[in-house]
Amino acid sequence: MIEFKSKNKSIYVSDDDDLKKLGITDSVKLFEDGFRTNTGRGFFEWWYFDASLDDGTTIVIVYMTKSIMEYKGPLKPGVMITITRPNEDKIFKISNLSKNTFTSSKKSCDVKIGPNWVKGDLKTYTLHAKVEDIIADLTFNGIVPPFRPRDGKIFFGDINHYFGWVAPIPYGTVSGTLTYNGKTHKVTGSGYHDHNWGNLALPSVQDHWYWGRAQFDDYTIIFVEQITRKKFGSKKLPVLMLAKGDKILTGNGVPLKLKTTDFTKYSSGRKYPNKLVFSWELEGNTIDITLNNPKVIEAASLLSSFPKWKQKILRLFVNPYYFRFESKMDLKIDFGDIKAHKKGLVLYELMQLK
């Protein structure tokens, strides 16, 4: 176990010996997208899917055991659906269902929450999600192989408190039907799926993170910088994955560095940078990512789903805030024999947890 010390608390990540003991290799196994925690107090888990459709619509679907803000509470399963159409208001729906309606396999992704379900084998996923008048019946087919950094876990304070992440589909295709506003649409596009689980309050261990992914022609990239709270030393925990076609070129995020400049104050009082520069260099290989002039397409407090009276109480302790941006991206790759320069629009997020 590798330890990163701070004055008050330590952070741990698994080393090669740990991976051998766990039987974990570079290849993600089927059980890793199955149920990884339990439904008791102090645990949370969610399976996340998003798609960028050919007509410009984006959709996000999340199957969860409970809200991350209520991880100390009992099982409270639910499904969230967000649809964003070009130049139209966002549609957001959430349903919380009886705890008796939740089931999940530990062997693979096979989750049921009331009438909602998702099932997959790390390559192909089919799902059905219905919240009020929104219905999604979609199939995701992976192109880029499943990915996780090392064993996918970060341990905070000790090895019993952790946050886990794996991306079974870093990039793939999507097809199916989407029903909203009284109409059913046949849809196609590209998609992504990841899976998160843990047993701690993220606002207590992480200060903020930037998370994004992009796909240009034959290249897929995931880039993340997480910053821990001061009590954990404001440690930077980067993640990077670069793939060409169906081959992952690197999953080593350690060299990734981020510089942010030109901050703007949003109407909520929160600030975000207008320019982000990610740089990565290892053994003569370089990857450079520049994000410019972000457009805010979503901005909300994570407390907004709580009753007004409860929001006032929670804000005394924490008020996590989420931004989602559309941005211009400039990607330069100099990796072995590969030299590429790509430009385009991408989506990325800023989560401010304090």
The CATH number given to whatever domain includes residue 249 is 2.40.370
Mean pLDDT confidence for 4-18: 81
Strands (E), 132-232: 134-142, 153-156, 162-180, 183-198, 206-216, 219-228
Residue 188 sits in the same domain as residue 209: no
Position 87 scores a pLDDT of 81
Position 254 scores a pLDDT of 92
Residue 347 sits in the same domain as residue 310: yes
How many Å apart are CA 148 and CA 79, to the nearest integer? 24
How many Å apart are CA 87 and CA 274, to the nearest integer? 22
Per residue in 238-274, pLDDT tens? 999 999 999 999 999 999 999 999 999 998 889 999 9
Domain residue limits at 280: 202-354
Q: Which of 200, 234, 251 is the last residue of a domain?
A: 200
- Confidence label for 113 from pLDDT (cuts 50, 70 and 90): very high
Position 316 scores a pLDDT of 46
Residue 25 sits in the same domain as residue 166: yes
Q: Which of 200, 224, 258 is the last residue of a domain?
A: 200
Mean pLDDT confidence for 56-60: 92
Identity of residue 231 = K
Per residue in 155-198, pLDDT tens? 999 888 999 999 999 999 999 999 999 999 999 999 999 999 99
pLDDT at 123 over 90: yes
Strands (E), 86-133: 91-96, 102-104, 109-113, 116-120, 124-131
Position 288 scores a pLDDT of 98
Position 311 scores a pLDDT of 46
Residue 75 sits in the same domain as residue 206: no
Strand 58-64 with 206-216, pairing: unpaired
Residue 180 sits in the same domain as residue 208: no
* Residue 144, C-beta contacts closer than 8 angstroms, at least 6 positions apart: 169, 170, 171, 172, 220, 243, 246, 248
Residue 168 sits in the same domain as residue 120: yes
**Global pTM?**
0.91
Partners of 242 in the β-ladder: 221, 250
How many Å apart are CA 310 and CA 304, to the nearest integer? 10
Residue 195 sits in the same domain as residue 209: no
Residue 245 sits in the same domain as residue 337: yes
User: Most distant CA pair in the chain: distance in Å?
Assistant: 59
Q: Which of 142, 166, 200 is the last residue of a domain?
A: 200
Partners of 265 in the β-ladder: 271
Report the phi/psi class of residue 30: left, alpha or beta, with left for phi > 0 and alpha for psi in -120 to 50: alpha
What is the percent of the chain where pLDDT is above 70? 95
Q: How many domains does the chain have?
A: 2
Residue 8 sits in the same domain as residue 152: yes
What is the separation of C-alpha 102 from the centre of its chain, rounded to a whole number of angstroms? 22
Residue 118 sits in the same domain as residue 221: no
